[in-house]
Chains A and B, each alone.
Chain A
Amino acid sequence: MNVRRDAIFPLFLAALPLLTLACATPSPQRVAPELPARPSREVLANGMRLIIQEQRVSDVVALHLWVGVGGRDEFPAERGFSHFAEHMLFKGTSSRGPGFVDREIEAVGGRTNAGTSWDYPFSYILLPSRRASQGIEILADMVFNSVFDAKELAREREVVFEEMRLGEDNLRNYLGRRLFYLTFRGEPYGHPVLGDRDMLQASGQETLRGYYKRHYVPDNMAMVVVGAVDPAEIRAAVNRAFANKPAQGYRRSVPPAPRPLDDSYREVRPRPERQGSLGLGWLAPALGTQDMFATDLLVHILGGSATSRLHQSLRERQRLVSSVRASYSALQGAGMIGVSALFEPDDIDKVEAAVLAEIKRIQDEGVTQAERDRAVTAAESRHVFQIETAEGRAYAYGMAETLWSLDGELRYLDGIRSVTREQIQAAARRYLGAARSRLALLPADRVR
């Protein structure tokens, strides 16, 4: 299916921080030893950050443009603007008509797309390396010169509404989004990234363009270039395209720490599917905090693979669920550990009890050395597999630079390797306590 310009939904995002963070350090001995093992990072005079990683794994370049504004920065009257604005980047600039960006990139066999989360939007172009400068110019045109034509705006709004409907129909998306909504109820991370239908209906050309002009400024942007490129040429192209825009003194606010959860964070909702699902959510460490590493390993051991505690116990031994997994979403100002399961509706109480029992077992007895080692190997392996593509690395660097720190990203595996069994057990005790959210999705006739 053609999934395009997505709001990045929670479950998708959920898996990402782990995956993403895991892709930092290039393998020292094998990966193109003559190339720099670390990316270069520089700051233009106008505050824009530029990260370049030369990588000759394939003849393509990934160009990522990240902006520091997302769903969590929006005022109530702006709900959904970050995502809507990201769509409009493709709907015409002062020199390119609507759809021209897509056509120009596809005509050279490239790809372009974008995504938005609570913490950021990013747009990317992937194309043959020798066309990198052309791609950089196009990205600059999109982020500075998009016109937000009124007619295009009205059309694209309908597309966003279709995206909302699509999200309603997809159980996994729905569960993830709703669990975030519940866990961070009423707080910056609790609002749907896609926004509010009425607010979007009322949003006019001037309001939306104003939002875009306010936030799409060079000192709120990072450009990441990964691929078979000459860094000097990239530097020149980025300077040509971006350096003439002055800094705006942009300052981004840090979201407040989330409220603790209590018994009110629970709900049961009807769904058209015949199977039931359960989502449990706990507040967890934010991106870049010291506990992030132990939490990553904990969540992997709990429910991140085929040998994980939850998978083995609930699916393989008790045959209670058709799937169960745990995920950790590390955001800029907060984090969430989520456990989700799919099962026969009658079994919901048994499933919940079984999940909690496995958590308690880790809290009481800890994890084995073999489990800890396997989780570290999995993190190392994810990192190597991710650098098979330029975009995997570009995504990781872009997110780290925008939300956390590139340096932290590059030392991610060191952090992972230093975690002990005791720290994993301590994280289980600290974060997987009684304070949690609970979302049950059941067939309509089972919802009282």
Chain B
Amino acid sequence: MRRLAFLALLSLAPAIVPGVWAAEPIQRDRMANGLTVLVRENSTVPVVAASVMVRVGSRWEREDNTGITNLLQHVLVKGTQSRTALQIAEEAEDIGGSISAAGDIDTSEVRGAALARNWRRLLELLADVTLRPTLPESEIEGERRSVQSALKSRADQPFQRAYDAAMERVYGPHAYARPVLGRAPTVAKLDRNALLEHYRTFYRASRSVVSISGDVSAREVFTEVRRLFADMPSGDGAVPERGVSPVSAGGRDLVTHPSAQAQIMVAYLGPGIAHKDYAAMKVLSVAVGGGMAGRLFTELRDKQGLAYSTGALNPSRVDPSVLVAYLGTAPNNADRAEEGMLRELGRMTQERVTPEELSRAKAYLMGLFNLDRRTNARLAWYQGFFEATGVGYDFAERYVRAVEAVTADDVLRVAQAYLTRPAVVSLRPAAR
């Protein structure tokens, strides 16, 4: 997937005029059974992307069923009452598109894309796999094997392994500590009954959003979705909301891994997507580690040559999120790099960012945001994700305004509030 990663970087940013491209309004429909439908009419290119986004994911999993959502999602597209796995894949390719599904944290989706003229066939296919999956035993076994293999691969990759260790360290007993893929012993035991129960509990209209973007008519799409999804069970599955608030005690883990580079992660808890500090934290994360002009990149890579890759991640989460600063370097630089990272992160709690840094960080952040919302697939994902996580499909505009309003004082304040107890993971090869 390196190609994809790279092409994602080959993207760009109309930061100054936020959302110019995404100007077409999103239209929303609420069906009698509680299903939300979002459509963005976008006629620039003759394609369509659609996503069925459900509030299900590792956030609701337990230690004894971790990985169940991801396995379920993969099996959904592997057989329905009227189609085999191969027929599903062939049909998706026949309409010039694709269909796939995977588990995630706060929401999980089944997504598809097609040439716009085939939009009806795409929606019909999505409705079929979402509402009438058969979860065949043989496909469960196949996908289980594939997940087991992905788990091995993930543990073999230095960056991923360090990241997973940092999540465990930061989140402790909270569900976010557990990987979306699950853990091998648990995944080995998940059976068809468990998957079926998970499906019946969570695949409910009130937990779901059908999100579409492309060269289509909203009116026609609404009519079609009403017809196709009418028999989706209503309600929200009576799933108990989770009350656990994560508390990070910080600390440090040393992980031995047979890699050429050492990987260092420094992680802190941060605000969730609906929190008032959300935008300020995003600005902070970018001032520290966004792009090539963030503090980590300029200080540790440009000035000291200590890294090839360094930056900071700050994913959007319903519950308290995380800020993860990361760096890859030669093993004999690992300690120096770790000190440098902690020094730069510490500085954020002591000094205000300069006006130039603040303005660059905002421009970069908005650039990234706008850049990432240019393809229909991403537009469909964003509006569906915002709706499903509770901040609303039109969150993008409010978020942009909130970022514009962030001051240097705000950045200092959130740094002091959140960058308190670093959880450090230092992964490196065994000393010879």
Interface residues, chain A, with chain B CB atoms under 8 Å away = 1-4, 6, 8-9, 11-12, 15-16, 19, 27, 29-32, 56-62, 90, 98-99, 102-103, 106-113, 115, 124, 126-129, 154-159, 161-163, 165-166, 168-173, 272-275, 305-307, 312, 315-316, 319, 322, 342, 370, 374, 377-378, 380-381, 384-385, 387-392, 395
Contact = CB atoms under 8 A, between A and B. Distances in A.
A275 B13 contact: no
B12 interface: yes
B17 interface: yes
For the complex of A and B, 4 pairs with smallest distance between CB atoms: A109-B15, A126-B12, A109-B367, A322-B149
A106 B366 CA distance: 10
B159 interface: yes
Contact of A316 (B3, B86, B376): B86
B196 interface: no
B298 interface: yes
Contact of B329 (A156, A162, A168, A315): A162
8 contacts: A1-B326, A60-B14, A62-B12, A108-B16, A162-B307, A165-B261, A169-B261, A378-B96
Interface stretch (B58-66, B204-212, B308-316, B383-391): B308-316
A377 B16 contact: no
Nearest to B378: A388
Nearest to A172: B2
A48 B53 CA distance: 49
Contact of B94 (A107, A168, A374, A389): A374
Given A109-B363, A166-B261, A272-B156, A322 B305 contact: no
A298 to B, nearest CB: 16
Nearest to A274: B152
Nearest to B116: A30
Given A127-B12, A319-B145, A166 B309 contact: yes
B121 to A, nearest CB: 13
A3 B309 contact: yes
B90 interface: yes
Given A30-B45, A161-B330, A12 B367 contact: no
A275 B93 contact: no
Contacts of B326: 1
B45 A107 contact: no
Contacts of B10: 62, 111, 113, 124, 126, 389, 391-392, 395
B427 to A, nearest CB: 11
A194 to B, nearest CB: 11
B6 A12 contact: yes
A103 B13 contact: no
Contact of A15 (B3, B21, B360): B3
Nearest to A29: B46
A241 to B, nearest CB: 20
B12 A391 contact: yes
Contacts of B292: 2, 4, 90, 99, 102, 106, 112
A316 B46 CA distance: 32
A115 B3 CA distance: 12
A59 B14 contact: yes
A126 B21 CA distance: 15
B335 interface: no
Contact of B298 (A99, A162, A166, A169): A99
Contacts of A110: 12-13, 15, 367
B46 A384 contact: yes
Contacts of B363: 106-109
Interface of B: 1-3, 5-7, 9-17, 20-21, 43-47, 85-86, 89-90, 92-94, 96-98, 113-116, 141-142, 145-146, 149-150, 152-153, 156-159, 215, 258-261, 291-293, 297-298, 301-311, 326, 328-330, 356, 359-360, 363-364, 366-367, 370-371, 374-376
Nearest to B261: A165
B367 A162 contact: no
A112 B14 CA distance: 13
A171 B156 contact: yes
A2 B258 contact: no
A342 B260 contact: no
Given A106-B364, A388-B45, A159 B11 contact: no
B96 A377 contact: yes
Contacts of B21: 57-60
Given A162-B328, A165-B260, 13 more contacts: A2-B292, A3-B309, A59-B17, A59-B20, A106-B291, A111-B12, A128-B14, A166-B309, A316-B142, A384-B115, A385-B113, A388-B376, A391-B10
B12 A390 contact: yes
Contacts of A374: 90, 93-94
Contacts of A59: 14, 17, 20-21
A387 to B, nearest CB: 6
Contacts of A58: 14, 20-21, 44, 374
Of residues B3, B303, B306, B366, which shows the largest number of chain A Cβ atoms within 10 Å of its Cβ?
B3
A3 B9 contact: yes
A176 to B, nearest CB: 8
B137 to A, nearest CB: 13
Contacts of A115: 6
Contacts of A19: 3
B242 to A, nearest CB: 30
A312 B86 CA distance: 8
A156 B93 contact: no
Contacts of A56: 44
Contacts of B261: 162, 165-166, 168-169
Contacts of B17: 59, 128
Contact of B45 (A15, A112, A155, A387): A387
B86 A12 contact: no
A275 B44 contact: no
A346 B113 CA distance: 38
Contacts of A274: 152, 156
Contacts of A11: 2-3
A319 B146 CA distance: 9
Given A58-B20, A99-B292, A126-B10, A389 B375 contact: yes
Contacts of B302: 98-99, 155
Nearest to A128: B14
A363 B198 CA distance: 46
A162 B11 CA distance: 24
Interface centre among A57, A99, A381, by most chain B C-beta atoms within 10 angstroms, is A381
A156 B305 contact: yes
B155 to A, nearest CB: 8
Contacts of B114: 381
B168 to A, nearest CB: 20
A4 B259 CA distance: 20
B159 A1 contact: yes
A165 B330 contact: yes
Nearest to A154: B305
A58 B11 CA distance: 11
Which residue, of A32, A154, A165, has the highest number of chain B Cβ atoms within 10 A? A165
A370 B304 CA distance: 57
A199 B364 CA distance: 37
Contacts of A380: 96, 115
B366 A2 contact: no
Nearest to A300: B93
B142 A319 contact: yes
Nearest to B85: A316
Contact of B46 (A27, A111, A165, A370): A27
A158 B301 CA distance: 9
Contacts of A322: 145-146, 149-150, 153
A276 B301 CA distance: 34
A12 B96 contact: no
Given A162-B308, A381-B97, A113 B156 contact: no
Contact of A3 (B6, B96, B329, B359): B6
A48 B149 CA distance: 50
Nearest to B158: A169
